Structure formats: structure tokens, C-alpha cells
Structure 1
Amino acid sequence: MRLKLSACVVAFAVAMLTGCTLDPHYERPAAPVAVAYPKGEAYESTSAAAASTATPSTTTTPPPLGADMAWRSFFRDERLQRLIQIALDNNRDLRVAALNVAEYEAQYRITRAVLAPSISASGSLTRERASGVTTSSSDASVGTTSWEIDFFGRLRSLKRQAMENYLATDASRQSTQISLIATVATDYLTLLSDERLLQITEDTVKADQSTYDVTKRIQELGNSSMLDVQQAQNSLASSKASLASYRRAVAQDRNNLIAVLGAPIPDDLPPAREFDDESMFADIGAGVPSLLLTRRPDIVQAEHALKAANANIGAARAAFFPKIELTASAGTSSSTLSSLFKAGTGAWAFAPSVSVPIFDYGSNKASLDVATIEKQIEVADYESTIQTAFKEVANALTARATYVDQVEADRDYVASSHRYYTLAQARYKAGTDSFLTFLDAQRTLYTAQQQLASDSLSRQANLVTLYKVLGGGWEGS
């Protein structure tokens, strides 16, 4: 008898270990993008400064890939590094993302636990009196109730689905972290840029105020027309309006940075660099598009979602097959507590059950159709995510090259405008040129300085974007 019982246990164990799976064979969909990033004039800077910042030279060692570079290595500004670390420690969105990962990990453990029987122990003691007679009974048992034996892999498919959902959530957390790092850097650069524009505008207001005062005195002496005074006043009023605008922008930039940090900006930060300092960021390489499939968290997340949908098809297929459950217990039972564990009081129960779907009005078929359609949706989402990633990297690469030329041209524009302003001012004081020419030179210089600051910000922010879209910024696992 014992030999037969052992054989039954071994048979069930083998069935559990060798049960089939009905998941479709998974193959990663082909990437719907080119095998290399675009090339051409728009991706190659013509400026001499590009040798170290835009397109790596073929005669030197290529820069490390963005996805392989930790954020502390890419961001070289110690002040910015400190701000990023504060955000990683305090940002609530990142905290929620980490909690979501913990939740899905717990859900996976719940799903995994269903594969094993749930064994419980119970005991009872009953005493009752009826018709003048007192009776008692006691029992103790250990067993499992309604344990589904996974012959056709339904539970294992659900376990794989839970695992893939957990991994997808973890990839989402990585994506949230990378986005947070990029947001802190961009907000910080915006603050520095607006502080630069505020300083430029303050200098312009002082210059306009001085011009207005001088022009008004000249007009009072009869050596200038009221038109010159009005033009000087108009320029002063315009620059004062810009001054108020940039003061507001700087204050709002600080508020935005505090919000993304999740904490106040410390007073003991390292000294700030100029926002257009080219040494703020390390040079990085793009690699080939196929690297994005395993380096960008959003693509990794989309693939795990696809694998989860694939496993769900297996669970839906298994619903067409019999469902086998086992209830079993073993213990002892006696009318008196003192003899509960004596010989002859043993008791056991073994109750397997089989449920076979015969007619469900198409419910199982509809569930399988839903699972299949959901996988097709995930395939489309996965391919769309790859295409979006390719577009973002290609756009950032062409921006990296062209912004080098654009900023160099802006610097020439500022230098030329400054010479124009100096010459026009000297000619106006000498009476050679009109006040209108001098005023135009003043406005041109202000516009050139604004344009240089704006384009420098765009250039630096694009370097941060390139690092982000290449999947950089993640340390650890």
C-alpha cells in the first residue's frame, strides 16, 4: 500500500515538472528601422569646434556609447551632479515608480505561489450534551484544498506573464530615472540661460537709460530733435519690459527646479559654471540602432509587455483543456482527546476532481481571441517605440552637428554687432551719423546677445537629450 502511495506521489511530481506549455514560440519582431543612422551634410558640422563636440574624428579613439556612460561621468559639472543626486533621493515620481516595481514583484510572488500546494493544519475539539448524554470528539489533520495541478501549463503561463509585467515595470522605473536626470539638467541649464539673459537685459537697460538721459540733455540744449528723445524713450521702455520678463523667468525657473528636485536648493552647492561651457558634458557616441533594443528602457519595457501578452495566450489556450484539482488530508480522529494520537485513530482523505469544458457559449474562444489581439497590439506598440527612438536619436544627432555651426555663427554675429555698436556710437558722438543709426546698432547688439544665449541653451539641452534618447543615465540594475 505504501509503495502504491509513493508511486502516486512520484507520478504527480513528474506531471508537475514535465507538464506542457501552450505559449506560442516567442521571436523578437524585426526592428522597423534602418540598420544605421542617417548621414549627410546636416549630420556633419563644418565648424572647427566640431572636432571635439559634434562628430568624432576617425583618427582618434571613438567616444564611449551614451548608454554605457553613467550619468556622473557624462555630467561633469559638480554643481549639476549634486542637484541630480538630490532629485534621485527626493523626487516623488521616482519614488512612486520604485513602489510600483515592488508591487509588481509581490504580485509575481503571489502568482508563483499558486504552483505549489497550500498546506494547512487544523484541529478541533467538540463537546456537547443532548438528552442527558455528554459526547465529545476531537481531530487533527494536515492537508491541501483545491490544489490545481498544472498539467497544461496555465498557471506557469500566468507566472511568466506576471514576471514579464514585473520586468516591464522595472524598465519603466529606469525610464523614469533617466527622464528625471534629463529634466534636472535641462531645468538647470534653463535657469543659467535666463540668468545670463537677465544680466544682458540689465546691462541693456543701463545703456538705454544713459542714452535717453544724454539725448534728453542734448535736446534741451537745442542740438537734437524731440524725435530722437522719443526713440530713446521707446527703446528704454522696451528693454525695461524685457527686464521684468526675465526676472519673472528666473524666479519661475528656480521654482521649477525645486519642484523636480523634491527639496529646496541647498546653499552650499559648488560654484556654477557658465551654462555654455562646452566642458560641462562628456562626448558620447551613438553606436548603431540595434543597440537601442537593449539599452533604451522604454523599448525594453515594450518588449516585456509583448512577452507578457505572449504568455497570456498560453493561459488562454490552456483554458480549453481539463482542469484537475486535488484535495487531500491526513490526520487522526477520536472521541476522546487523550486517545487522539493512539493507534487506530488515523484518518485520511484523497479527493481529486476534474473539470472539463464542454459548452461555454464561445467564452474560451473569445478569451483566446482577446489574448491574440492584445499580443498584436503589443507588437505594434513595440515597433512604434523603436521607430520613435530611432527618430529621437537621429534628430538629436543632426541637432548636435548643426548647433555647433549655429552657435559659432551667433558668436560672430555678437562680435560684429559689438563692433557696429562701438563704431555707430563714436560716429553719433562726432555728429557723423544720425541717432537712428546708433539706436539700430544698440538694438542689433542686444538681439545678437539674446540669440547667442538662446541657441547656446538649445545646444546644451540637445546634448542632454541625446544622452537621454541613447538610453544613458542608468547605474545599477
Structure 2
Amino acid sequence: MRPIAEKRPVRRAPTRASLFLPCLVASGCMMVGPDYQRPPAPLAPAWISREAGGIAPSAEPIGPWWESFGDPILSNLIADAYRQNPSLQAAGVRVIEAQARRGIAIGTLFPQIQDAVGGYRRTVASENVVVVPPERSFNQFLAGFDVGWELDFWGKFRRGIESTDAQLLAAVADYDDVLVSLLAEVAANYIGIRTSQEELDVARHNVELQRKSYGIASERAKQGAVTEVDPAQAATLLHATEAQIPTFEAQIDEQASTLSALLGVPPRRVEEIVGDAPGPIPNPPAGVAMGLPADLLRRRPDVRRSERLLAAQSAQIGIAKADLLPHLSLVGSINLDAKDADKFFEGRSFEAFGGPSFSWAILNYGRITNNVRVQDAEYQALVNDYTNTVLRAQADVESAVAAHRGALLRTASLRESVAAAEKVVDLVGSQYHEGAVDFTTVVLAQQFLVQQQDLLAASEGQTALTMVTVYKSLGGGWEPWEGRSVVSAETAAQMSSRTRWGDLLAEHEQQSIAQAASTGTEHDRGWWRWRWWRPQW
């Protein structure tokens, strides 16, 4: 039996790929420029308006705040606006656009030049040259493939992806900001319609009462119990109240047109939007969870957008600094070149070259250095913008809470005033009928009642509006739709009919982006970014 030969390791000659491998590894080891850290935000430890009327400092999530008003029509209008509003759809398309721009940035990590070339050329050479080719006239058939790959040695392209990642999340935050504003505008216009309807109803009710007073005054004047001054005063008050009715009707029509635009439909009559019967002014909830000022960094979309734009600009500094350093590339070409077509595919027609390339813009006359300075200045400006956004967000909340507290107190006082005025009108009406008081007293009492009832209706509407403003200032409204598609099926179908979008319009892709945008830590955002570093075909 022959002994089994000992297996020895086979020595292989180093290939070109193995020679370039250290370059590829080195290209992922360093990134010039600052590593972004969110700047400290000037946050108050607590709200000044704690324990304000109807406001609680709880950190519970806001959720669908419009449902707390207990008005199903308002909830339906909110749902319609979410599905149909053109401005919201446009903001959603900008998110898709940011995804595509991110795909462009990811593509820079891979070979930047990949050109397939080919051609045919007929050449007739001049005889009046020093070296005359053997054949003055000849053909040339050429086909090949050129590759150029600039290595991301200094992290320029990875900083570009970092920047577009942040810009994508900024686009999501901008979508949320548009959504928050849209929901608040829909609620405000609906409350405005209900308030105007209430004021209109109060005016019509007072017209009926004043017509009765006018009839009583006219009858007493005919009997000679009073002069013609009394019915003249009654007519003046009646016509003044009747003059308010067209104003309220015009307000309702105007608000209905605005609400129609928010719903993404042509102007409609108010009955087609909110129903035939006038409804009550929505009653604001007894409380709302304010949380702490620090919660605004996550909850307010405009704060999140400002912070993400800051991160995007930080990466631009690294991109600019990378231009100060040498650029290393791998270049190569594979060609078939022959003068006769029948020899085109022969082995002797094959030619190739490849190797590293080096370039360094040394004499740039300050252009690159000053570009770094420009990017740094823009970053610092955005730091100041971010600080201002955080401060303004806190001021918005404090102002909204103070306005709501004042509206609550005003409404409570006006309710008592209206109740007292109604008793006075009933009392002086009886006394006038008995001849105990003159008609001037009746007119003054009715005028005051009309004024107070109108003020009460407006104040009840203002109380509801200030609660909407509180919710808006807290950034509430985007959470219930978190993880849903940012564009409607109709919009996606229109875009797909013109262009092949791949997975960018897929619902699962949009959900992944929304979840990343709502993540609270930079670590999680980074995991999401590296997870999706792949070409988007």
C-alpha cells in the first residue's frame, strides 16, 4: 500500500486584487471633518405655566388630540385632510425625493466611472509627416470597458451619505411639521364655522325678541301710553341687530371655502362640509399632557428638522476638508482593438491596463480652504438657528397656555354676565309692559344682552381655538400617523406611471424611514444608516 502523501500548503502568487485590498481597507478607516454632536439646547427645567387651567404637566403622549373634543365631524374632517391635502402630499413627495438623493450619495461609494465604449474609425494618414505609417489608409474597430474608482480614503463620500441621511430625516420632520400645522388649521377653521354659526343663531334669536319689543312699543304708542320715540328706539335696535346677520353668514361662507381648500376639494357650501344642522362649538378637553420642555426636542417637528439640518451641514465640513488632501483612485480599461473586423475577437486584439492614480489640487489659490470656512460658517449659523428654534418653541407653549388660561377665565365670567343680563331683560320687559319704566331702559338692557351673548359665543370659540394652539405648540398631531406612507396611493401611481421608482414608493420602505426619524438616539440612527448602505437601482 502506498503511503498517503503529506499535503503541503499551496503557495499562490499575489493577485492584483490582493495588492489593492489594503487600499480598500484603508479607505474605510478615516473620515476627516468633525463628528457631529447635537449642541446643547437652552431648555427650561419646567414650564412657567404649570397647573394652568386645563393643563397638566404629565409626560404622556399626546396622540390624536382632536378626538378629545368629542366631535365626530371634526375627526372626519381631520381624516379627510390627511388623505387629500395637496400641501401634505407635496411634503411627502419631498421625502421620496430625499430618498432618491440619498441613493445618489450611496452610489459614490462604488466605482464612479463605468463606461462601455465602442466605435469604428476609417483613417487616412498624411504622407507629409516624419514617420509615415506602413499603411496610409486603414480601419480601426474598438470596443471596451473603462473603470475608475476614487477610493474614499478621507471619508468624503461617507460624509456625503451622512449628510443626505440627515437631510432625509429633515424632510420627514418637515412632513410632520406640515401635518401638525394642517391639522391645527382644519380644527381652527371648523371651530370658526361653529363659532360664527353660534353668533348667527344668537343674532337671529335676539331679532325675534326685539321684534316682539317693537310690537309692544308700537301698540302702546297707538294707545297713547307712550310717545313715538319708543317704537323708533325699538326699530333702531332691531335693524342694528339684523345688520349683524349678513356679516356672520359671510364669515361662515369664507371659512367654508378655506376649509374646502385644506381638505383638497373645490369650494363647497358649509352644509356639504359640516352637515345641514348647525352644531355646538367644540368643547375643549379638561386637560392636556404638556410633558417637560426637553420633550419638545423629540415632539416638535420644526426642532427635529433644525437639528437634522445642522447634522447635514456638519458633514459638509468634512466633505470640504477632504478636498485639501490627495485623491487616490484605481483606474483600468479592457479593450478589443483591431483593424480588420474578422480579427476583432482574436486573442491578439485584447488589450488592457490598470493601476492606481493620484491627484492633489495643491495650487488652488485658497479656493478649497475658503470653501471649508464657508461650510463652517454655515454650520455655525445653523447652530444659532437651532438655538432660536428651541427658544421659540418654548415661548410658543408658554404663550399658548397663557392664552388658554385667559380664555377660560373670560368665558366663565361672560357666562355669568349673560345669565344676569337675561334676567334683567325679562325684568325690565315686564316693568315696561306695566308702565313702570321707560323704553330707554328696555333698549339698554337688550343692547347689553346682545353684546354679552355675542362676546360669550366668541369667547367659547376662542377657548377651543387656544386649546388647538396649545396642541400645535407642543408639536402634537403627527404621532397617530407615524409609520404610514407619506404619499397617497394615487400620488404613488402617478409617479410610477412616469418613472421606475423601485422600492422607494413601497409602503414598507416609507415605514422604515418614519421609524428611523422618530428614533431618539444617534446610535439607533447610525445603525439604520449602515443597514441601508446599498445601491438603490
TM-score range, shorter chain: 0.7 to 0.9
Cα pair 1:400 1:463 within 8 Å, conserved? yes
Q: How far does residue 345 in structure 1 lie from its aligned partner after superposition?
A: 3.5
- Aligned partner of 1:246 in structure 2 is 248
TM-score (norm 1): 0.88
- Aligned partner of 1:35 in structure 2 is 45
**Is residue 2:17 matched to residue 1:22?**
no
Summarize the alignment of residues 362-373 of structure 1 with structure 2, pairs less than 5 Å apart. 362-373=366-377
- Aligned partner of 2:201 in structure 1 is 199
Change (3 A) 1:448 1:268: closer
Q: Report the 3-state secondary structure (helix = DSSP H, G, I; strand = E; otherwise coil) of the residue aligned with 1:197.
A: helix
Moved more, 240-249 or 9-18: 9-18
- Map Cα deviations across residues 49-78 of structure 1 (whole Å, 9 max, x no partner): xxxxx145x9xxx58332xx1356545422
Alignment counterpart, residue 434 of structure 2, candidates 411, 418, 430: 430
Cα pair 1:78 1:270 within 8 Å, conserved? no
Query: Which amino acid counterpart does residue 17 of structure 1 have in structure 2?
Result: G
- Aligned partner of 2:454 in structure 1 is 450
Give me the identity figure in percent: 26
- Aligned partner of 2:52 in structure 1 is 44
Structure 2: how far apart are the matches of 1:272 and 1:390?
40
- Map Cα deviations across residues 227-277 of structure 1 (whole Å, 9 max, x no partner): 323322221221122112111111111111112111156849679784444
Summarize the alignment of residues 180-219 of structure 1 with structure 2, pairs less than 5 Å apart. 180-219=182-221
Query: Which amino acid counterpart does residue 77 of structure 1 have in structure 2?
Result: D
Query: Which amino acid counterpart does residue 14 of structure 1 have in structure 2?
Result: V
Cα pair 1:75 1:282 within 8 Å, conserved? no
Structure 1: how far apart are the matches of 2:347 and 2:364?
49
**Is residue 2:447 matched to residue 1:439?**
no
- Aligned partner of 1:327 in structure 2 is 331
Cα pair 1:77 1:273 within 8 Å, conserved? no
Query: Which amino acid counterpart does residue 364 of structure 2 have in structure 1?
Result: D
Q: Report the 3-state secondary structure (helix = DSSP H, G, I; strand = E; otherwise coil) of the residue aligned with 2:14.
A: helix
Cα pair 1:73 1:282 within 8 Å, conserved? no
Q: How far does residue 4 in structure 1 lie from its aligned partner after superposition?
A: 4.2
Change (3 A) 1:3 1:179: same
Query: Which amino acid counterpart does residue 84 of structure 1 have in structure 2?
Result: I
Cα pair 2:105 2:161 within 8 Å, conserved? yes
Change (3 A) 1:55 1:136: closer
Q: How far does residue 363 in structure 1 lie from its aligned partner after superposition?
A: 1.6
Query: Which amino acid counterpart does residue 204 of structure 1 have in structure 2?
Result: N
- Aligned partner of 2:408 in structure 1 is 404
Cα pair 1:127 1:134 within 8 Å, conserved? no
Alignment counterpart, residue 103 of structure 1, candidates 92, 97, 105: 97
**Is residue 2:467 matched to residue 1:469?**
no
Query: Which amino acid counterpart does residue 86 of structure 2 have in structure 1?
Result: R
Summarize the alignment of residues 64-83 of structure 1 with structure 2, pairs less than 5 Å apart. 64-66=60-62, 69-71=63-65, 73-74=67-68, 76-83=70-77
Change (3 A) 1:261 1:214: same
Change (3 A) 1:366 1:471: same
Structure 2: how far apart are the matches of 1:468 and 1:239?
36
Q: How far does residue 406 in structure 1 lie from its aligned partner after superposition?
A: 2.4
Q: How far does residue 127 in structure 1 lie from its aligned partner after superposition?
A: 6.6
- Aligned partner of 1:419 in structure 2 is 423
Q: Report the 3-state secondary structure (helix = DSSP H, G, I; strand = E; otherwise coil) of the residue aligned with 2:259.
A: helix
Structure 1: how far apart are the matches of 2:343 and 2:13?
25
Summarize the alignment of residues 145-156 of structure 1 with structure 2, pairs less than 5 Å apart. 145=148, 147-156=149-158
Change (3 A) 1:273 1:9: farther
Change (3 A) 1:305 1:251: same
Q: How far does residue 216 in structure 1 lie from its aligned partner after superposition?
A: 2.7
**Cα root mean square deviation, aligned:** 2.7
Q: Runs of 5+ in structure 1 lacking a partner?
A: 46-53
Moved more, 69-78 or 237-246: 69-78
Change (3 A) 1:2 1:196: farther
Structure 2: how far apart are the matches of 1:341 and 1:272?
85
Change (3 A) 1:15 1:140: farther
Summarize the alignment of residues 109-188 of structure 1 with structure 2, pairs less than 5 Å apart. 109-118=103-112, 120=114, 122=116, 124=118, 126=120, 128=122, 135-145=138-148, 147-188=149-190
- Map Cα deviations across residues 407-440 of structure 1 (whole Å, 9 max, x no partner): 2222111111111111111111111112111111
Q: Report the 3-state secondary structure (helix = DSSP H, G, I; strand = E; otherwise coil) of the residue aligned with 1:177.
A: helix
Q: Report the 3-state secondary structure (helix = DSSP H, G, I; strand = E; otherwise coil) of the residue aligned with 2:245.
A: helix
Cα pair 2:27 2:155 within 8 Å, conserved? no
Structure 1: how far apart are the matches of 2:383 and 2:273?
49
- Aligned partner of 1:6 in structure 2 is 17
Change (3 A) 1:351 1:63: closer
Q: Report the 3-state secondary structure (helix = DSSP H, G, I; strand = E; otherwise coil) of the residue aligned with 2:167.
A: helix
Query: Which amino acid counterpart does residue 16 of structure 2 have in structure 1?
Result: L
Change (3 A) 1:379 1:125: closer
Change (3 A) 1:342 1:463: same
Structure 2: how far apart are the matches of 1:117 and 1:194?
65
Structure 2: how far apart are the matches of 1:282 and 1:166?
38
Change (3 A) 1:300 1:275: farther
Structure 2: how far apart are the matches of 1:90 and 1:277?
23
Change (3 A) 1:104 1:16: same
**Is residue 2:352 matched to residue 1:358?**
no
Q: How far does residue 362 in structure 1 lie from its aligned partner after superposition?
A: 1.9
Q: How far does residue 189 in structure 1 lie from its aligned partner after superposition?
A: 0.6
Change (3 A) 1:268 1:287: closer
Q: How far does residue 119 in structure 1 lie from its aligned partner after superposition?
A: 5.5
Structure 1: how far apart are the matches of 2:338 and 2:17?
27
Q: Report the 3-state secondary structure (helix = DSSP H, G, I; strand = E; otherwise coil) of the residue aligned with 2:347.
A: coil
Structure 2: how far apart are the matches of 1:357 and 1:135?
41
Structure 2: how far apart are the matches of 1:37 and 1:112?
43
- Aligned partner of 1:91 in structure 2 is 85
Cα pair 1:275 1:457 within 8 Å, conserved? no
Change (3 A) 1:351 1:74: farther
Q: Report the 3-state secondary structure (helix = DSSP H, G, I; strand = E; otherwise coil) of the residue aligned with 1:31.
A: coil
